[in-house]
Each structure stands twice: as C-alpha cells, then as structure tokens.
Amino acid sequence: MSETYNDAGSVADKEYDVLSGREEEIKVDAHVSKCPNCGANLMYSPTTKKLHCDFCGSDVDIDLTSFAEEIPFSELTKVSHDWKDETRVFSCKNCGARTIVSKTEIAPVCPYCGTPGVLDENDLVGLKPNAVLPFLIDVPTAIARFKAWVKRKFFAPGKFKKSAKPEQIKGNYFPAFTFDSDTFSSYTGRLGKYYYVTVRRNGKTYRERRTRWFNVQGTYSLFFNDVLVYANRSRDEKSMRKLLPFDTDNAQKYNEDFIYGFGATQYDRDGTECWGEAQSRMRGMLQKAILAQYTYDVVASFDLRTAFGKTTYKYMLLPVYIGHSKYRKKLYNFFVNGQNGHVAGKVPVSPVKVSLVVLLGLAALAGLGVLAYFLFIK
C-alpha cells in the first residue's frame, strides 16, 4: 500500500489504469467482525479456534465441521485470470476511511482505526479461495520454535544463538494450489548394471568396470493426492518448501472468520501455471518410482508418457508466521509453519566455525594419506 486517503480526499474515488490509459473506479468492501457483547473487534485465536475479543474476553464459536471439497480441473480453465494491473480501494466499514490496497491483498487493516477486515469473495479478482488451513499455534509458540531452531544451527555464531529474538513476527495466509490426479504411464528405457572383470595388460593385472545393458518397458499407475504448489512469487520459495508438509487433507472450507487478525494474500501465479509445475513434479516422482523397481547403476535413456485423469484442485490459504531477526545490523528472515511449528529461513554464519571445520577436514584427509602410505606403499 503506497497511499491512503479518507473520505475528505477525492483521489481515492478513482484509480488510473496504466494499461488502458483510462481512470477506473474500483471499490471493494471488507467484512469486519464485532463482539456481540461489547462491540469491539474480534480476531481469530489459534489456541481456542474461536473468534476472541481482547477487550472483554468473549469468545465466539466458528464452524469447524465444514471441510473443503475438491473441484474438477475443468472448472479451473473456465475462470478468468485477467487481473489487469489495478489496485483497489478498500472501504472500512468501521470508520468509513478508504485505503488503496494491492490486487493480491485479501485481509487489509484500516490504518485509521486499526480494524482488521476481510474482503468478500465476490470482490476478489480471478479465482476465489475454496479452502483454508487455520493457524493452530500462536505467536509465543512460534517464537519459541524459532529460538529452538536457532540453537540447533551449528554454524551460527554463539552470540546470535544465545540472544536471537524476532525483531518482528506476523501471521500471514499464503496462497497455494493442491492437485489430485489419477495417472497412467507407459515407459521405455535402457539401463545399465556395472560388473567387474580382471584383465592383464603389459604383464600387469587390472580390475576393469564394465556395463551390462538391458532394456525395460511397461506401464505404471499411480494416484497423486494434494500435490502442493505455492502460488506466490514474492517469498523465499526454498525456505517455504522446507515448511512442508501442511495437513491439506483436513483443510476447512474457506471461511473469513479464520482470517480476522491475520494478513492474507491472493495468488499471483494462476492455477494453470501451478498445474504445469505440479505435472512436472508428478512426472519426476513417477520416474523415480518406476526405476525403483529395477536393479541398475546407470540410465542411458528413459522415455515416460503420462496421462492425467480425474484431476481436481483446491485453491487454499496456508498459515505461515513471517519474521526476521537482526545480527550486526543485518536482517535474517525466517518462516514458521502455522500448523506444526516447522521453521525455515536464514541465520548468520560464523567464519571461525567454518574455518575450524575446514581445517579439521584437511587434517583428517592428511591423516588418511599418511596411514595409506604406511599401509600400502612403504
């Protein structure tokens, strides 16, 4: 969000579409949830799985019995993904202020009154989320998991390990697609198995490695369940992948109650792009599973042809705590799985520890060299 306007300003009433060169008014409202007892804002509590009022302590139940359903893949191709490049105007239902938000933002917070809001599904551009994995651990638990994770980092400086604490931590729902598919594959390949023979050359005996080649072919069937592909480009995907797995089988049907008090973003990689990545991963897993049936040492060629049938998807929001810690004026980002507390990210590296390990490795190699000299040469 780069600019904020209230009702007194007229700039927020219109936005400029840089692609078409025309001004366009795009207003969206956000739902807010009020405490039935005192009227204060309600927020989702991961520990109780209820909406909680910090002002009077009241709790409001959330429906936990509605689970997300798989959607036929054919429905995905019917959805328009033409988002243009516009931002949108979020109208706060609590105080009436209007704020410019990005096209991917689902849960804006009003900068005037602090009211957390959640955009109506009908106001979301492109595909609508049909599933959500609620946060199950709170901020103190996430911080504790982070500190325990830091202590296990051998190469991190000792001072950092003792004093590491998040400078900032925030819960955010990240978009992802999961895909189910019933696959049938046919394959052909040429594999090799090593064997050794003894040969004499110039009066000396040698042991030579040779390869016995054999052809393979066949068919293979495998059902894939919830192959997950992150649908947001803006984060450290390597670290995010280390947060897996999420319990996607028990995803709740999308319910804005789970979003109150947390950030949430919509996808910027659409379902078609994510399905392409999922197919590539499935093919990799299929090749690995097929080759595991054979005893071999080397692959000369392998051709795999796969048909994907009865494919379904879920477009869901995943719970992740995002934070960073500081060491010597540099920030190190980390992520915590909001369901199971798995942590991933980056920490500073101690040059002293790295040098020590390298020296020990070189010393070990030198020792082995000396031992080999006395055993086999001298």
Q: Where are the domains of the chain?
A: 139-347, 349-378
What is the model's pLDDT at position 179? 98
Closest CA to 194 of 178, 207, 179: 207
Name the CA dihedral angle for 73, 74, 75, 78, rounded to a multiple of 10 degrees: 130
DSSP string, 233-285: SSS-HHHHHHT----GGGPEEP-GGGTTTSEEB--SS-HHHHHHHHHHHHHHH
Q: What does DSSP assign to residue 109?
A: B
The one-digit pLDDT tens for each residue of the chain (378 residues) are: 333 333 333 333 333 333 333 333 345 555 678 899 998 889 999 999 999 999 999 999 999 999 999 999 999 877 655 544 555 667 777 777 666 566 677 777 776 566 777 777 666 667 788 999 999 999 999 999 999 999 988 878 888 888 788 888 989 899 999 999 999 999 999 999 999 999 988 888 889 999 999 999 999 999 999 999 999 886 678 888 899 999 999 999 999 899 888 888 888 888 999 999 999 999 999 999 999 999 999 999 999 999 999 999 999 999 999 988 888 888 888 999 999 999 999 888 876 666 776 777 777 777 666 666 566 555
Integer Cα distance of 164 and 158 in angstroms:
10
**pLDDT value of position 33:** 82
Preceding peptide of 351 cis, ω within 30°: no
Q: What is the pLDDT of residue 14?
A: 34
pLDDT of 107 reads: 72
Separation between Cα atoms, residue 252 and residue 68, nearest integer Å: 5
* Radius of gyration for the alpha carbons in the chain, expressed in angstroms and rounded: 28
